[in-house]
Chain A
Amino acid sequence: MNDRNHRTKDPLPVATITILPGKARDGTRENFDEITIRAGDTISIVGPTGSGKTAFINDIEVFACHDTVTGRSILVNAQVPPDEMVRDPARKPIALITQNTKCLADLTVQEFLEMHVKARRIPDTHRTAETIALANEFTGEKITGEMRMTALSGGQTRALLIADAVSVSNTPLILLDEVESGGIFKENVIASLKRNNKAVLFVTHDPLLALLSDRRIVMKNGAVEKILEPKEREKETLARISEMDGFLSLMREKIRAGDLLDREVPVP
């Protein structure tokens, strides 16, 4: 009824999202008081398979309220978020992108973005072009508006969905669940999210991504084991890993281009 008017109103500004502790699989309380996420934060979640990384991300995505297996709860601006914010994906201040997230509809990139812009009732006519341009900052495999969504590579799809979350959904918090694999310029993604004042939380096994974050949450046995804030201490390692990552990307491109890597290549 007044749904339409309601949509065009600015959603409640989200200043902080806070995670309150739950319990580990053995029932012991988690080892932190609270984790607060603010605009521009980059946080990585690491830990072995089955340690509870995805459950942690899911808790945030559903605004857990002591009603998930972990018993955690999530606050927005230090309060229990209103139902509407929790339930309507268009009003949720969180975008979750997993390795399974895809556009299933057989649409072109342009049509896909237009569908989303229209659903959000965004009057701005340049938004789709901006989104494609941003996606192209994230991937070396050029994306155009005429390409079909179903024909995009994994890297292109993730680049486009992250750009969509930044520029169309415009959610303050983006959750990435193991989306790092090839074809994405990781440093560009992190830099762009920071520049756009987005907070990002990512589950990762990728050393470069893990070291690019300001905070590193280590999971074990279903619970947060510790929270690392390496600050300057990992600076040199980060520089080395970044160089190695660049080297591997270069090798990947050469292999894709059909080159024979027979000459000695200087390993960083």
Chain B
Amino acid sequence: MKLLIFAGPPSAGKTAVIRQILRQLAGASTIAFLKIDVVRAFEDEELSKEFGIPARKVYSGDVCPDHTGILVLRDAISWADDLGADILIVESAGLCLRCTPYTSQSLGIVVLSAVGGTNSPLKMAPMIALADIAVVTKVDLVSQAEKEVFRERVREVAPRVDIIETNAVHGTGLRFLMKAIQSVPEISSPDEIVLRGMPPLAVCTICAGKKEIGWQHHFGILKTLDGADDLYRGE
């Protein structure tokens, strides 16, 4: 079974890209889908209805959705394996631009929208840097100049990432994504899958429900306005 991990900010078109993959591969291959989101998600129901594929979702609630994704990924692989799936697609919530949910033995795909502005790849650097492929969507909506500059900005962040421009609604240009999916190796040893990079730290006292503003009221790893370095303060 192959593992595809999708990340990307909200409304970038992750599901539109996944839909194109399903349009081409569902039927010939068994594809299982897992959506990770925070409070509500509908992608699993929509895709399951449209393509008749096994699909499910996990809500992270008050926990970082990417951490949740990592915690449930091993279970998800077993679930998809038991179904006899050829491909497991995992779609992240796409909330935090610091996300890096990609693992070893997978194809990591970041979906970015050209509409986000030419500087957006610089803002999402961690999410792009460890991906194998950057799919840039909505290229039909922006000028040629912005299209070219967007590509340069992605290159700046990740010189080796494979960039694929598309109008995902029509599925233009996705042949290179399909080729990459074809050639990605299957999971060889699921128990040895590890994250490619460190996810952002998600344990702070705000996470745990303390609502006061100002670092003076919190402990753990903290930030002050002056001196942007982290500081550690125990309770």
A residues whose Cβ falls under 8 Å from a Cβ of B: 1, 3, 54-55, 58, 61-62, 65, 67-68, 83, 87-90, 95-96, 98, 100-105, 112-113, 115-116, 119-120, 161, 164-165, 168-169
Whether A116 lies near B142 (C-beta < 8 A) is: no
With CB as the reference atom, state the residue of chain A lying closest to B150: A89
Apart from A104-B115, A115-B118, 16 more pairs, CB < 8 Å: A62-B175, A83-B176, A87-B165, A89-B139, A89-B148, A101-B141, A101-B142, A104-B146, A105-B117, A105-B146, A112-B143, A115-B145, A119-B148, A119-B149, A168-B144, A168-B145
Given contacts A88-B151, A105-B117, A105-B118, contact A96 B140 (CB under 8 A): yes
Closest 3 pairs between A and B when the two form their complex, measured CB to CB: A116-B145, A103-B143, A119-B148
Q: Mark B152-170, 1 if CB is under 8 A from A, else 0.
A: 1001000100011101001
Q: List 27 A–B pairs whose Cβ atoms lie within 8 Å, in order of A's numbering.
A: A1-B159, A3-B155, A62-B172, A62-B173, A67-B178, A68-B171, A87-B164, A89-B139, A89-B147, A90-B151, A98-B140, A101-B140, A102-B143, A103-B145, A103-B146, A104-B142, A105-B146, A115-B118, A115-B145, A116-B144, A116-B148, A119-B145, A119-B148, A120-B148, A164-B144, A164-B145, A168-B144
Whether A104 lies near B141 (C-beta < 8 A) is: yes
Contacts of B163 in A (CB 8 A): 87
Of residues A65, A87, A112, A169, which shows the largest number of chain B Cβ atoms within 10 Å of its Cβ? A87
For the complex, what is the distance from the CA of A62 to the CA of B168, rounded to whole Å? 13
With CB as the reference atom, state the residue of chain A lying closest to B141: A100
For the complex, what is the distance from the CA of A55 to the CA of B178, rounded to whole Å? 20
Contacts of A1 in B (CB 8 A): 159
For the complex, what is the distance from the CA of A83 to the CA of B163, rounded to whole Å? 12
B residues whose Cβ falls under 8 Å from a Cβ of A: 115, 117-118, 139-149, 151-152, 155, 159, 163-165, 167, 170-173, 175-176, 178
For the complex, what is the distance from the CA of A101 to the CA of B141, rounded to whole Å? 4
Closest CB of chain A to B67's CB: distance in Å? Answer: 33
Closest CB of chain B to A107's CB: distance in Å? Answer: 9
Contacts of A164 in B (CB 8 A): 143-145
With CB as the reference atom, state the residue of chain B lying closest to A101: B143
